[in-house]
Amino acid sequence: MIELQQIRTMLTQHQPQLLTQQNFRQAAVAMLLREQAGETEVLLIRRAEHELDPWSGDLAFPGGGVDPADRSPRAAAERETFEEIGLKLSAQQYLGRSDDLAGAYLSIHIACFVYELENEVDFCLNGEVVDLFWVPLRTLLDPARNRLHEFHYRGAGRRHPVIDLSEWSNRPLWGITYRLLQNFLGRFELSFRHPEHF
């Protein structure tokens, strides 16, 4: 399984692929990692239900849109993390940037910045976030949790790979956060595999 030292080394050497197409909304998220009982864990939030939010109720990383006042996408990710869960990130916690991704259904580019948390944190959730929890990367990679799921999204029936995290959430992990994690884990030759792959 991936150790944090491997992640630090990879991100130090990695040249992230950046997306620069015009007329796309820009967003940025923070992938927060920690080591607990010898396991590398990632923090996931559950977004509040809101009819105007395309990610209403989804599992996600802290983050949001890049504002004109933000110095950079990384500054936006850090601002949004503080606003959403009350965590002020520092340069000492920053490990590096993963590859950008484009939204599958929306004209949006997502930048992903990776941080390591070494100490216990007292989170303070705002109204946009209703819950958060840590999940071991090993759990996300468990084939028994990975499956294809049919559901209704944005006016159409869809079939997508998801990860069942029912101990923590009644919603599975899917969409852009799934893809960001899949992309990140691919750097270590790891991949989510649902039973249909076998």
Strands 94-97 and 59-60: unpaired
In DSSP terms, 135 is beta-bridged to 42
- Tens of pLDDT, residues 50-109: 776 666 789 999 999 999 999 999 999 999 999 999 999 999 999 999 999 998 878 899
Cβ(81)–Cβ(94) under 8 Å? Answer: no
Q: How confident is the model at residue 4 (pLDDT cuts 50, 70, 90)?
A: very high
Mean pLDDT score, 29-44: 96
Q: What is the mean pLDDT of the chain?
A: 91
Q: How confident is the model at residue 198 (pLDDT cuts 50, 70, 90)?
A: very low
- Tens of pLDDT, residues 158-195: 788 999 999 999 999 999 999 999 999 999 999 998 65
**Torsion 182-16-2-171 (CA) sign:** negative
Q: What is the DSSP letter of 173?
A: B
Domain ranges of the chain: 4-140
pTM of the model: 0.93
* CATH number given to 4-140: 3.90.79.10
Mean pLDDT score, 35-42: 95
Higher pLDDT: 19 or 106? It is 19
